[in-house]
Amino acid sequence: MDLIICPTDFSKTANNAVHYASHFAEYLNAKILVIHVMHVPAVDVYSPANVMNDMMEVQSEGANRKLKELCQELSSKYECIYEYKSAFGFAAEVICELAEKEESRMICMGTTGGSNMINRFLGSVSYETVKRSKVPVLVVPSECKFKPIDRIVVGNDNKESLEQELDELRSLCHFFTPKIDIVTIEKEDEPSYDPELKWEEGDMRIIEIESHLIGDAICRYVDENKIDLLALKRHQRNFIENLFHKSTIKQVLGDSHIPSLIFN
């Protein structure tokens, strides 16, 4: 059975992502592992040795109680198998190591919208997880609600093969039978935006856009074509760096309510 790992800090944003993942899991017949990662408590160096252990035990008990309640709530709404786990450490590191150890199909986690979104995202556990993870990471904006995925945009820089990522994307979303647009940006010096259909066969087509800003071009295409999911390969640095520019991150991961699936 496939496994989806869903980190949570019990915030509205994180739990929204768990609900989103639960819909996905129903289609995939997957199990969900909800994890909460805690910081090791800071104690005075002169404190007795058992103080830290006692504090960690209290934290673990509280986290596990909340996780159990969350999983019970989810079990009453979705036909999924839920497990939970709490751990101490650096959140992104713990999440990625667990995903690799458990051979997780993907990680699903939320990111917060708002006026200061770029700072929140780039400094967040979500972003660190995206950078470290060896399995796909589905980043779900805080106001994003699950709906069938009919159209997907895959960002492409024509420098690396996307064959493996496209196979995984089709496998993850096969139950929706979505149309996939592979969008390539040809960098221009002057302001421009000129999409052109280069190739089409079945459910897939290749679109080339002449534009001076990669991130803006992707965002505009997503908005104008009612795209449901944006997929990116993290090693395509030009796409990632431009997409995470301050002027575009809010639109893609916040205002447009589009989830992003990041491959590594």
Mean pLDDT of 85-110: 94
Give the H or E element holding residue 88: strand 81-88
pLDDT computed for residue 118 by the predictor:
39
pLDDT score of 123 more than 50: no
pLDDT > 70: percent of the chain: 82
- Write the pLDDT tens digit of every residue in 179-222: 999 998 887 777 788 899 999 999 999 999 988 777 778 878 88
For 172, residues 6+ apart whose C-beta sits below 8 A from its C-beta are 24, 28, 105, 106, 136, 261
pLDDT computed for residue 41 by the predictor:
66
Ranges 74-88, 148-162, 195-209: which has the least confidence: 148-162
For 12, residues 6+ apart whose C-beta sits below 8 A from its C-beta are 142
CATH topology for 3-141 is Rossmann fold (3.40.50)
**Which pTM was predicted?**
0.86
Positions of CATH 3.40.50.620 in the chain: 3-141, 151-263
Q: State how far the Cα of 79 lies from the Cα of 29, in Å rounded to an integer.
A: 9
pLDDT score of 34 more than 50: yes
- Write the pLDDT tens digit of every residue in 98-122: 999 999 999 999 876 443 443 444 4
- Domain 151-263: assigned CATH number: 3.40.50.620
Tokens (6 digits) for 109: 């986690």
